[in-house]
Each structure stands twice: as structure tokens, then as C-alpha cells.
Structure 1
Amino acid sequence: MATIDSTQEIDPDLLRASPEFRAAYLTDFLNFGREQQDSLNKVAPLVNDKIPAIVDDLYAKLFEFDITKQVFLERNQGFDGPLPSRLEDLTLDSAQLKYRKVFMCSWARRILTADYSSPKTWAYLDKVGIMHTGVKSFKHRTNTKPLIVPYRDCALLLARAESILQTAILNLSDDQLSMPEKIAAVSAVSKVIWLQNDFFSRHYINE
């Protein structure tokens, strides 16, 4: 039977106000530390070439439903290219979709290569979450109409990203990554996706 030596005191107000304090609590709870970071960093170059295909899969899934596809009829802040006005004219090769895919590829690579001991990493994950709520978060944003995506759909996309990334890792050859290393990497991916998920939900859920 597990024993508890002491109980930590966590300040709820600080959890809401400080991304860095929140990250410390989350990583402690999930046992996400240097070992998990090393697993992600090790697997990053092995799946790097697969990331564009992974992102294509994620956007193809978004196009299967009108409520997730119609988000891309709204102009992303920072994008000034052509934009279809009708849902039926929107394709996966539309200029704004290509623009969004670049960002998502960058996000996927960053969560695998990040230094999770750096406050900059948590600031980035927090900005990724808040940018979907319509609040300006990145310096490149302009005064165009804000992007607002329901939390439900953000969470669903993260779940799919987790599954695809884990499958890509498990499909690596044993010469590239041993089975114990694959298991460790799959576990680390699960934890980092849940960390990102929390940095979405904190901007949607008033707790």
C-alpha cells in the first residue's frame, strides 16, 4: 500500500495566474521530468519526416465535419492571402490551410524537441492555447477578426494527434528505437499532450 509522507499546499489563485507555477504542479502530478523530455528529444529526429503527413491527416479529419471545417472560412490573424467565402470552395490545398499546416508542423516538432525546464516552453504552450480563444497572443497578430475555436474541437484534435504520434513511434524499427524506448516515448507523448490540453482548457474553463 502506498504511503504519503506529506501533502503539498497548492495555491489555486497562483495556478490560474502563473503558467510556470501551473506547469510545476502539472509535471509533478504526471511525473513528467527530465527522463520524459529525453525520450521525446530522442524520438524527435526519428519521426520528423513523418510530421507533415501527420498534420495532413489531422486537417483531413477536420474537413470531415462542417463545424470543424467552417472555422477555416475565418481569416487567421497573420494570414493575408486569398480566402474562399463558401464552405464547398474550401480545400485542403487552400492558401490558408497551407499557412495553418506550417504552424501545426512547427508545434508538433516543438513539443518533441522542447526544453521543459525552460519557462519559454510553458509560455509557448500557453500561447498556443489562448490563441484559439480569439485573444491576441503572438506578436505577428494583426487587427483582423479573431480566431475562435470551441474547446471541444481543440481537445479532440489533440487526442487524435496523440494517437497518430504514438502509432508513428511504435512503427519505428527496433534498429531505430528499442521496445523499452518506444514504450517510454509513447508514455511521454501522452503526458505532453495532456499538458498541452491543460494549457488549452485553462483559457476556456473558469475553475
Structure 2
Amino acid sequence: MPQGSSTPQKCPVIFTQEVDPVLIRVSLDDRIAYLTDFLGFTSHDAKIISRIAPLVNGLIPDLVDDMYAKLFEFDITKKVFMQRNQGFDGPLPSKLEDLTLDSAQIKFRKVFMKSWARRVLTSDYTSGKTWAYMDKVGIMHTGVSPFKHQRTMGIAPLNVPYRDCALMLGWVQQVLMRAVLKVPNDKLSPDDKAEAITAINKIIWIQNDLFSRHYINE
């Protein structure tokens, strides 16, 4: 109690929502509602992401190139690309040392990654289709295909440890944040930069959860 004050301070009354752990495990809509509510992802966050998209879109090709260079720094992350990925029917090297950043499958994978990065910046976050896409991105790294046409055609999906998926999302998050900070102040005010970084942080963590839910049974 402050000195000289006779009025006791009261703790705020917090409304506690009921969350069904089974429902958020089996229902994507309920899970997204929980994630966005917990992280405070709002229409304002979606708007600021859309606003910065034209300002950082140009860095995506370099971001993807740098991302694969990072993956090639470690044998456990490089070995993943010795497996044939879904939709790729070109040549594969027989030895890890023969796999290069110019290999056909790496070029193929970069196309997907550029598409994902652009969708993060330009998606309609009021649409369930956006969250369904991000959820399928998580599924497709577990060795289980989320796409019916791939299963029908016998196309094998990726099989990547969750550890490496989470690390790569963290790396992408850093790059996007640095890109926002480098935007000139006359194009994006410091306050808007702070809001953009916060919004990106929320989206990356939601995407991270939409990976982990398919690896971790909880």
C-alpha cells in the first residue's frame, strides 16, 4: 500500500477461458483461435504485415539462398536433401559431398521456400485457407503427405526432425526482423517497425506451433 494512502490496492479480475485440450489438438479452427488469442494476433498485426510486404519482398530470394547455405553448414541438415522430395523427379547425387547449392533438387526446393516466405508476408489472415496452408507446411515435413494428389501419385514428402524445423524458423525470424529494422524511417516509422517486428514474431510462432503439433502428441 502506498505511504499515506488508506485505500488497499486490488488485484485485477481476470476472466479465465475454458480451453478443451482435446479439441485444440483435433480441430485446426479451435487451435488457431487459441493461438491467436493467446499471442494477441489481431487484424492490426495482419495489416502491418501487409504494409511491410512491399518493403521487404525484394530480400526473399537472398533470404532463401542464405537459408540453404545455413542448412549446408551442418551434415545433419544437409543430409535431408539426399532424400527425394515430393514433386521432384530430377537427378540426385549419390554422395553427400556431391550435393551442392546448385543441385537440381535444391533449386526445386528454393521455389517452394520463396512461395512460403511470400505467403507469410501477403496472406489473408482472416481466411481459414491461410492457416490450413501453414498447417500443411508443418505436416509435409513429418514424412506424411497432407496432399491427396501426392499420396495418389506415391510422391514421398519430406522427413525433417522438428528440432531443425524450429531452428530454421528462428533463423528466418531473425532475418525478417533485421530487414524491417533496415527500412528507412521515411518509409516506415520506428513505431511501425516495432509493431511489424511484433507481428512477424507472432506469425512465426504460430507457424512453429503448426509444425510442433504434428511431431508432439499433447
Normalising by the smaller structure, the TM-score range is over 0.9
Instruction: Call closer, same or farther: CA 1:92–1:126 in 2, change over 3 Å.
Output: same
Alignment of 1:4-15 (within 5 A): 4-15=13-24
Alignment of 1:26-45 (within 5 A): 26-45=35-54
Q: TM-score, normalised by structure 2?
A: 0.91
1:58 and 1:4 map into 2 onto residues whose CA distance is: 46
**1:154 paired residue number:** 165
Q: Which moved more, 1:192-201 or 1:90-99?
A: 90-99
Q: Deviations over 1:34-81 (max 9, x none)?
A: 010011100111111110101111111000000000000000011111
Q: Which moved more, 1:154-163 or 1:98-107?
A: 98-107
**2:215 paired residue number:** 204
C-alpha deviation, 1:138, in angstroms: 2.8
**2:7 paired residue number:** none
**2:69 paired residue number:** 60
The AA in structure 2 aligned to 1:159 is G
The correspondence for 1:167, drawn from 170, 175, 178, is 178
The correspondence for 2:81, drawn from 72, 79, 89, is 72
The AA in structure 2 aligned to 1:185 is A
The AA in structure 2 aligned to 1:154 is C
C-alpha deviation, 1:146, in angstroms: 3.7
Q: Which runs of no fewer than 5 residues in structure 2 stay unpaired?
A: 1-9
1:112 and 1:144 map into 2 onto residues whose CA distance is: 29
Does the aligned pair in 2 maintain the 1:78–1:140 contact within 8 Å? Answer: no
Count of aligned residue pairs for this structure pair: 207
Q: Deviations over 1:133-175 (max 9, x none)?
A: 0111135524144421000000000000000000011011112
**1:86 paired residue number:** 95
The AA in structure 1 aligned to 2:180 is I
Q: Deviations over 1:9-57 (max 9, x none)?
A: 1111110111111001000000001010011100111111110101111
**1:108 paired residue number:** 117
Q: Which runs of no fewer than 5 residues in structure 1 stay unpaired?
A: none
Query: Which secondary structure does the structure 2 equivalent of 1:79 belong to?
Result: coil
C-alpha deviation, 1:2, in angstroms: 6.3
C-alpha deviation, 1:3, in angstroms: 2.1
Percent identical among aligned pairs is: 62
Give RMSD over aligned pairs. 1.3
Query: Which secondary structure does the structure 2 equivalent of 1:103 belong to?
Result: helix
